[in-house]
């Protein structure tokens, strides 16, 4: 059985669908919803469920996610992995996007109303830029 990841000993032994009212609690908070896979193998467990089952397994550069995380858990997983490899993350309000050039940061507001971020209010469909 899969996932057949090169150099990563992880095997899915069971996949279960979760009813909309159910969730699998993750160690440290958060949940998996919709589905959860039972994993086995010798790859390191990077995150576990609240009852100790592997939720993410794999090494430094390749990991297998065993379920569908809720929005907050997904964001936390991404922030953690990005921090491990030195990528800066930002929690942005809906509609706001950042683009950096070698010299400037551009903040685009795709929302229908003004958005305030990092002390600056960007009007609807507006853009703000500042030197880096």
Quote the Cα angle for 102-108-112, to 5°: 180
104, 131 in Cβ contact below 8 A?
yes
Q: What pLDDT is attached to residue 7?
A: 87
Q: What pLDDT is attached to residue 51?
A: 97
Stated pTM of the model: 0.83
Residue 54 corresponds to which tokens in the numbers above? Answer: 């592997």
Q: What pLDDT is attached to residue 28?
A: 94
Domains of the chain: residue spans and CATH: 11-84 (3.40.50.880), 96-131 (no CATH)
Distance, CA of 104 to CA of 34 (rounded, Å): 41
Q: What pLDDT is attached to residue 54?
A: 98
pLDDT block averages, 10 residues each, the chain of length 132 = 88 96 97 98 97 95 96 95 94 96 98 96 97 96
Q: What pLDDT is attached to residue 113?
A: 97
Q: Dump the DSSP string for the chain.
A: --B--TT---EEEEEEE--TT--EEBTTS-EEEEEEEEEESSSPEEEEBTTS-EEEEE-SS-EEE-EEE-HHHHHHHHHHHHHHTT-------TTEEEEE-SSEEEEEE-SSS-EEETTEEE-TT-EEEEE-
């Amino acid at each position: 059985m899969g996932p057949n990841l090169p150099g990563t000993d992880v095997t899915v032994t069971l996949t279960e669908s979760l009813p909309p009212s159910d969730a699998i609690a993750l160690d440290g908070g958060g949940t998996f919803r919709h589905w959860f896979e039972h994993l086995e193998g010798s790859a390191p467990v990077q995150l576990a469920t609240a009852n100790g089952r592997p939720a993410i397994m794999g090494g430094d550069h390749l990991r297998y996610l065993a379920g569908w995380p809720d929005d907050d858990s997904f964001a936390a997983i991404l922030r953690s992995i990005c921090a491990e490899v030195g990528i800066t993350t930002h929690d942005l309000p809906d509609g706001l996007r950042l683009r950096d050039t070698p010299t400037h940061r551009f903040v685009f507001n795709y929302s229908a109303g003004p958005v305030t971020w990092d002390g600056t209010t960007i009007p609807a469909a507006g853009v703000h830029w500042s030197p880096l």
